[in-house]
Amino acid sequence: MDRNFIGFSFDGIHSSELNIFHVSSSDRYEETLQPEINDNTIEIPGLDGEYYFGSTYGPKEIEVNIAFDSMTEVQFRKMRGLFGTKKICELIFDERPYKVYLAKIKSPISIEYICFDEEIKLLDEERDGLRYTGIGRSTVGLDGVGRVKEKIIPYKHTGKKQRIYKGEAKIEFICYFPFAKQLFKQLDLYNGNGNTFTKYNNVNEWAESSRLLTIEEFNKYKIDRLLPNDSPQELNYKIPVYNPGDIDTGFFLYLPFVTEDGSKGLYPNSTGNYIEIFGDDNGLMLRPITAPKHSSDTGILINTNNHLIQGVHISNPLINDINNRRANWWTYTGTLYNEYIAAGDFPHIKRVDWYFDNKEQFKQAIYLNCDLNGEEENVLIKYDYLYF
């Protein structure tokens, strides 16, 4: 059995802390490849069949069979509390740790177990080390006279006993948001490099299929950074973006107001009449935007997930930090600017078809045409890689 398939974490607690293991229900593991698909149809009187007008994904359900054979009473209590929560928590499986599901317990968990007493033994660190364990025929590890040295973990006997549980159970998780989000956007961070303590020993097993970029590749492609467009005859700026996920993803784009002359606004450049924002699938054209008087808005947030242009406040503008996935970059002020939409639709960052192998083919860009008047470094973008 691949040990990477027996561990998972829920709400920041790894299964190994409870001495439980993710196991298969038979000699094979089972996995649902995608969430349930809901077809939107309607019957048309007088016509055969139904009229189809698209599909949506429903919640994703995940079943996890667990087993344990030496769970202590303390661990049993912790397990009861962990899986008794009503919260939505992060669920990560060791075999693909780049995917983070937002899951909650779907139904009460019934556990089958037996219990028995076991002596409490304490590690004897003073006697820990290599011991001669017998005569060996292998040439590996011999000390010259045929005795094999082997790691021995000695224990001190306490004479006290504790209750131990052995059993199994099935845990049913439900993810109302049916897709997993990336843990980190840069591959190196899963090896323990960079500003994180996370370290997995199986990165090479899933790195190619995840199509995550290394730190070097991320910097080379200048992903998520505002750059002058290298085609001057087109729009002013571009933001290189990258989506190795399974579906198209929306994004949050923060554009700061221009305040050099004391007013606050976003204006077209000298060659156009509109603020233009384009992706590979759609584009928006906005009339010049001026913040309401006495507003605390420092700029607008273009939310392509909810099709909103929202007023937000950032007291200390930050350069985009893709490694801090929980960063709160903005505070919503309640102002909406959708009335400034002149034409078009909200763009998304398209996924690249699965049969493309070259990472270069995943490179896209969001293009901007507006007057930023020296505020270029304060443009921020946030989006997730979405996986089944």
Query: What's the confidence (pLDDT) of residue 39?
Result: 83
Q: Residue 66 in contact with residue 169, Cβ under 8 Å?
A: yes
94/236 same-domain check: no
Model pTM score? 0.80
219/354 same-domain check: yes
- Cα dihedral 197, 200, 201, 203 sign: negative
In a domain, 277, yes or no: yes
156/237 same-domain check: no
168/271 same-domain check: no
149/248 same-domain check: no
Give the bridge partners for 292, in sequence order.
none
214/336 same-domain check: yes
Q: pLDDT tens digits for 99-137? A: 999 999 998 888 888 888 777 666 665 555 555 445 444
Least confident segment among 40-44, 293-297, 345-349: 293-297
Query: What's the confidence (pLDDT) of residue 356?
Result: 61
139/174 same-domain check: no
Task: Tell me how crowded residue 209 is: count the other CB atoms within 10 A of its CB.
Answer: 11
Count how many domains the chain has.
3
Query: What's the confidence (pLDDT) of residue 136?
Result: 45
Q: Which of 133, 162, 191 is the last residue of a domain?
A: 162
In a domain, 237, yes or no: yes
Q: Burial level of 272, CB count in 10 A (0-12/13-18/19+)?
A: middle
Q: How would residue 236 be classed by pLDDT, with cut points 50, 70 and 90? A: confident
Query: What's the confidence (pLDDT) of residue 320?
Result: 46
In a domain, 269, yes or no: yes
53/131 same-domain check: no
Between residues 301 and 371, which one has the greater pLDDT? 301
236/336 same-domain check: yes
For residue 225, report the phi and psi dihedrals to the nearest 5 degrees: -115, 140
Task: Find the helix or strand (DSSP H, E) in which 8 lies.
Answer: strand 8-10
Range of the domain at 17: 3-115+163-178
Nearest CA to 96 out of 178, 213, 174, 190 is that of 190
In a domain, 36, yes or no: yes
In a domain, 21, yes or no: yes
Q: pLDDT tens digits for 194-223? A: 555 566 778 888 988 888 999 899 998 899
31/130 same-domain check: no
245/382 same-domain check: yes
Query: What's the confidence (pLDDT) of residue 125?
Result: 59
146/244 same-domain check: no
Distance CA 140, CA 149 (A): 9
Between residues 260 and 163, which one has the greater pLDDT? 163
In a domain, 199, yes or no: no
- CATH classification of the domain holding 56: 2.40.30.200
In a domain, 247, yes or no: yes
Q: pLDDT tens digits for 305-351? A: 999 999 998 876 554 454 444 445 788 888 999 999 999 999 999 88
In a domain, 193, yes or no: no
Q: How would residue 49 be classed by pLDDT, with cut points 50, 70 and 90? A: confident
